[in-house]
Amino acid sequence: MVKVYFDTNVVVAGHVESHSQHQPAFKVVLDAYAGPLSGVVLAHGLAEIYSVMTRTPFQPRVSPREAWQMLKDNVLDRFEIVPLTTAEHGDAI
């Protein structure tokens, strides 16, 4: 199985139907759910996903409760969550 890093924009677009890139992102997210891909999200990205989902003026808006439920049900339970060390953050920057 191939591990694939999912950036915030792909996770958000894949879960918000009104997002302009929902269809292609949703297909890739479904591939991670079904098994051809193994989805990876960085731990610090969880807060970023929540922030983007709740502050972007999607129609309909995504409430904080809905964003948390999506993270809990669709990201925490289905993606590998990878923390980075301080040194790894520094190397990336």
Q: What is the tens place of the pLDDT at every residue in 5-20?
A: 999 999 999 999 999 9
Give me the pLDDT at residue 14, please.
Answer: 97
What does pLDDT average to over the chain? 94
The CA-CA-CA angle for residues 30, 78, 53, to 5°, reads 75
DSSP single-letter state for residue 8? H
CA 73 to chain centre: 11
Token pair 């439920």 is at which residue?
69
Q: Is domain 2-92 given the CATH code 3.40.50.1010 in the classification?
A: yes
Percent of the chain past pLDDT 70, that is, above it, reads 100
C-alpha 39/C-alpha 26 separation (Å) is 13
| pTM, full prediction | 0.89
Task: Answer whether the bond into residue 83 is a cis peptide, omega within 30°.
Answer: no
What's the chain's Rg over C-alpha atoms? 13
Residue 4 pLDDT > 90:
yes
